[in-house]
C-alpha cells in the first residue's frame, strides 16, 4: 500500500485522536525508517523513547521470534519463565526488590498510585493524597491524567480522580508546604519529559528524599521516559544519588513490544496481596522475552556509557548552535534525552527537519525534542546538527 491508501483507510476507520499524520512508516532498521512510498529517514525520536536499541534489533527480534514459536501468552494465574527472569535482572540492576508487570507507562503509574494508597491503608493509617508536579506527564488513564500536571490533558474529563495535588517542579519549599498528614506519596519524573525536558537542580531530588523520610511519605519516580539508558545511566535516579521507594518503567523496556513495570522495595510491596491488583497481559511470555533481551543488551558493559558519550557530543554541537542563533533560549537534558527551548513555536522546524529526512518531535509548543536510539553514532548526530543549522538559518 502507498501512503495515500493507508491514509484513506485511517480517515475512514480510525478515531482521530492524533491529528494529521505526515508519514506511513512501514519498515525500520537500526536508526533508520522507511515510509510506504520508499523515503528514508533518520529516526531521532525512537517512537517517543521506545526503541532504545534501534528498530528491529537482532537480539530482540530473535527473542520475540523464538518465544512466538514456543508460547505467546498464558495468564498470570501461572508462573511465566521469562517474566521471573526479567524481574530478577531488573532487581539486580536497581533498588527494587519486587515487580509488577503491565502493558505500558500509564498502567505502571496506576499500579504505583494504587500501591501507595493501599500500603498506608494496610498499615491502618490511610494517606490517600498523592503530590505530583506541575508540567508533569504520567499517562492518559483517569488516575494518571489527574496526576499529570498539565491542564490541557484534563479538559473534558472532569471531575478528575480525587486526591492529587500539584506543586511547582524543582521547588522544595512548595513541596514541603504541601505535605500534610493526608499525603502518602510524592510522584515525580526525575527529569520532566513531555513538560519540556526540565532538568532539576542537582540537589533537588536529594532534598525531596529527605523530606519524604522526615514526613514518612513514599517517594515514587516515574522513569517511563527517563529510564533504561535514556539519560546516560540505566536509571535517571542514579545521577542524583537518590533511591526512591517505587519506580515505574515502560517505553524502552521492550524495545517496542508493549510492556510496563512497577518496581518497589520489599516493604512497599506489602501493600499489595493476592487479588489486590492484576493485569491480563502484563509480563506475558512474549513481552517478557522481548524485555529480557532488551535488558541484556542495555546492561552489557560499556553500552550505556557509549551512548552517553554520543549524547555529550550531541549536546556540544547543539550548544554551538545556541551560541549562533538567538532564537534558541536553552539546550536541556541528559544523555540522549534532549530538549531545545526556542523563542518561537517549533512545529515549522519539526516539519523542515522532516523534509530534510530527520524525524524528531516537540515537548510543548516551543521545545524541540530529540530522543534517538541509544545506538546513534556521532556521525549521525553531526548530520542532525548540520541539518538543524540549515533549518534555523532559513527562519
Of the residues 45, 100, 101, 137, only one is catalytic, namely 137
Helix then strand count (H, E) for the chain reads 13, 15
Alpha-carbon span 44 to 29, nearest angstrom: 13
Nearest to 223 by CA among 389, 90, 66: 90
Q: From the CB of residue 348, how many other CB atoms can be counted at a distance below 10 Å?
A: 12
Of the residues 222, 272, 314, 334, only one is catalytic, namely 222
The answer to whether 290 touches 268, Cβ cutoff 8 Å, is no
Q: In a 10 Å sphere around its CB, with 0-12 CB exposed, 13-18 middle and 19+ buried, how is residue 327 labelled?
A: middle
Nearest to 360 by CA among 137, 43, 27: 43
The answer to whether 286 touches 67, Cβ cutoff 8 Å, is yes
Of the residues 251, 314, 352, 370, only one is catalytic, namely 251
**254: which 3 cell numbers?**
521492550
To the query of whether residue 137 is one of the catalytic residues in this protein, the response is: yes
The answer to whether 254 touches 277, Cβ cutoff 8 Å, is no
Among all chains, which residue has been given the C-alpha cell 533518520?
42
Q: Is 391 left (phi over 0), alpha (psi -120 to 50) or beta?
A: alpha
**333: which 3 cell numbers?**
537534558
The set of catalytic residues is 137, 222, 251
Amino acid at each position: 500500500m502507498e501512503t495515500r491508501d493507508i491514509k484513506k483507510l485511517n480517515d475512514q476507520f480510525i478515531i482521530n485522536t492524533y491529528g494529521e499524520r505526515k508519514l506511513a512508516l512501514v519498515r525500520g532498521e537500526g536508526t533508520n525508517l522507511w515510509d510506504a512510498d520508499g523515503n528514508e529517514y533518520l529516526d531521532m525520536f525512537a517512537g517517543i523513547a521506545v526503541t532504545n536499541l534501534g528498530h528491529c534489533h537482532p537480539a530482540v527480534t530473535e527473542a520475540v521470534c523464538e518465544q512466538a514459536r514456543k508460547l505467546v501468552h498464558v495468564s498470570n494465574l501461572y508462573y511465566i519463565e521469562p517474566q521471573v527472569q526479567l524481574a530478577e535482572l531488573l532487581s539486580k540492576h536497581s533498588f527494587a526488590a519486587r515487580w509488577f508487570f503491565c502493558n505500558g507507562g500509564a498502567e505502571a503509574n496506576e499500579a504505583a498510585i494504587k500501591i501507595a494508597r493501599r500500603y498506608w491503608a494496610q498499615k491502618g493509617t490511610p494517606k490517600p493524597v498523592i503530590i505530583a508536579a506541575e508540567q508533569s506527564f504520567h499517562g492518559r488513564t483517569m488516575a494518571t491524567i489527574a496526576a499529570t500536571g498539565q491542564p490541557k490533558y484534563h479538559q473534558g474529563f472532569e471531575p478528575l480522580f480525587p486526591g492529587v495535588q500539584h506543586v511547582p517542579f524543582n521547588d522544595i519549599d512548595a513541596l514541603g508546604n504541601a505535605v500534610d498528614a493526608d499525603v502518602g506519596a510524592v510522584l515525580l519524573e526525575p527529569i520532566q519529559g513531555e513538560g519540556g525536558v526540565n532538568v532539576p537542580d542537582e540537589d533537588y531530588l536529594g532534598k525531596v528524599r529527605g523530606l519524604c523520610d522526615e514526613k514518612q511519605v513514599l517517594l515514587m519516580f516515574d522513569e517511563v521516559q527517563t529510564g533504561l539508558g535514556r539519560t546516560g545511566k540505566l536509571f535517571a535516579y542514579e545521577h542524583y544519588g537518590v533511591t526512591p521507594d517505587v519506580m515505574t518503567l515502560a517505553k524502552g523496556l521492550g524495545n517496542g513490544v508493549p510492556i510496563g513495570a512497577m518496581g518497589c522495595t520489599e516493604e512497599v510491596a506489602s501493600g499489595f496481596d493476592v487479588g489486590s491488583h492484576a493485569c491480563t497481559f502484563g509480563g506475558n511470555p512474549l513481552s517478557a522475552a522481548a524485555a529480557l533481551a532488551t535488558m541484556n543488551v542495555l546492561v552489557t558493559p560499556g553500552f550505556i556509557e557509549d551512548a552517553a558519550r554520543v549524547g555529550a557530543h550531541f549536546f556540544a554541537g547543539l550548544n554551538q548552535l545556541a551560541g549562533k542563533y538567538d532564537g534558541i533560549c536553552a539546550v536541556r537534558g541528559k544523555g540522549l534525552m534532549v530538549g531545545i527551548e526556542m523563542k518561537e513555536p517549533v512545529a515549522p522546524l519539526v516539519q523542515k527537519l522532516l523534509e530534510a529526512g530527520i524525524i524528531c518531535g516537540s515537548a510543548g509548543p516551543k521545545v524541540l525534542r530529540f530522543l534517538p536510539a541509544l545506538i546513534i553514532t556521532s556521525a549521525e548526530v553531526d548530520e542532525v546538527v548540520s541539518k538543524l543549522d540549515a533549518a534555523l538559518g532559513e527562519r
